[in-house]
C-alpha cells in the first residue's frame, strides 16, 4: 500500500513558481481530492528514478526529495526523461509506491480517487496549466481553448493563446496522473499528445469516453 500523509487522505502536491492557495483537485464520483501547495527552492532536481510496466508500454518514473517529477512512456514518447540529470539513480520512495498503486487502479479502468505526491517544476504558466489539468474529471475532456479562457479570466485579460496552452500541455512531464490526454482540439481532434496519439486514444477509451466525438488527425494540429 502507498503511504499517505498521517491523518489525511489528501496527498501532497509541491509546486515551484506558483502562489500559495492554488489547488489541484481531482473530481471523482462523489469525491473531491485537493492537494496542498508548498513553496520550495530551485535546488531540488530530479535525482531518483523507478519504472512501471503498463498495458500501454514501459513507463519511466522520476522524482526528487519533494515528490514525483516525471512520468513518461519510454517508447514513442516525445520528451522522455526531459530534465532528468545523468546522476539520477534508481531508488524506492513512498511517492513511487503511491504512483504505482495509482497506476494499478487506473489501468483497471477505475478512478484512483487520490493523488501520489507530485512536484511540478516549471514556469508559473506551465505550473498553472498543470493545476488546471488536474481539475479535469476522470472520463471527461476539455479543449485547449477552454484552458486558455480560464487563464485569461484569472489574469484579467481579454484572451490567452490556445497555442501557448498547447505548448504547456504538450510538455507536461507527468503524463496520465497530470492528465494532459484529456485535452482535445476544438473540433474534437486528438491532437498534441507527447506520448503518441494512439496512446491518447487508448487512455480516453479506458476512462469510458464516447470516442465517436473524436477524430485522429492525419497532419497538423487543431487547437
Helix H or strand E encompassing 62? strand 57-63
| Complete edge-to-edge strand list for the sheet that includes strand 48-54 | 13-15, 118-120, 68-73, 57-63, 48-54, 89-90
Query: For residue 120, how far is the Cα from the chain centroid?
Result: 9
Long-range contacts of 205-212 (CB under 8 A, 24+ apart): 206/106, 206/107, 206/109, 207/109, 207/138, 207/139, 207/182, 208/109, 208/139, 209/139, 209/140, 209/141
Dist. CA 139–CA 27, nearest whole Å: 10
Helix H or strand E encompassing 102? helix 94-106
Beta-sheet pairing, 89-90 with 57-63? unpaired
Active site (catalytic) residues: 180
Dist. CA 203–CA 197, nearest whole Å: 10
Distance set, CA 124 to CA 17, 71, 136, 163, 191 (Å)? 5, 20, 19, 17, 24
Dist. CA 52–CA 54, nearest whole Å: 6
Amino acid at each position: 500500500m502507498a503511504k499517505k500523509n498521517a491523518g489525511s487522505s489528501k496527498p501532497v502536491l509541491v509546486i515551484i513558481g506558483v502562489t500559495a492557495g492554488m489547488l489541484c483537485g481531482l473530481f471523482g464520483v462523489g469525491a473531491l481530492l485537493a492537494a496542498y501547495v508548498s513553496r520550495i527552492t530551485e535546488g531540488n532536481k530530479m535525482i531518483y528514478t523507478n519504472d512501471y510496466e503498463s498495458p500501454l508500454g514501459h513507463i519511466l518514473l522520476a522524482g526528487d526529495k519533494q515528490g514525483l517529477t516525471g512520468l513518461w512512456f519510454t517508447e514513442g514518447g516525445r520528451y522522455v526523461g526531459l530534465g532528468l540529470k545523468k546522476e539520477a539513480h534508481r531508488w524506492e520512495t513512498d511517492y513511487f509506491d503511491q504512483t504505482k498503486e495509482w497506476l494499478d487502479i487506473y489501468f483497471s479502468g477505475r478512478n484512483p480517487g487520490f493523488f501520489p505526491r507530485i512536484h511540478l517544476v516549471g514556469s508559473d504558466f506551465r505550473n498553472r496549466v498543470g493545476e488546471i489539468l488536474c481539475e479535469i474529471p476522470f472520463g471527461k475532456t476539455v479543449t485547449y481553448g477552454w484552458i486558455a479562457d480560464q487563464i485569461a479570466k484569472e489574469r484579467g485579460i481579454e484572451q490567452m493563446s490556445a497555442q501557448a496552452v498547447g505548448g504547456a500541455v504538450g510538455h507536461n512531464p507527468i503524463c496520465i496522473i497530470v492528465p494532459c490526454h484529456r485535452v482535445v482540439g476544438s473540433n474534437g481532434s486528438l491532437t498534441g499528445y507527447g506520448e503518441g496519439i494512439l496512446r491518447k486514444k487508448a487512455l480516453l477509451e479506458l476512462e469510458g469516453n464516447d470516442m465517436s466525438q473524436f477524430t485522429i488527425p492525419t497532419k497538423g494540429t487543431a487547437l
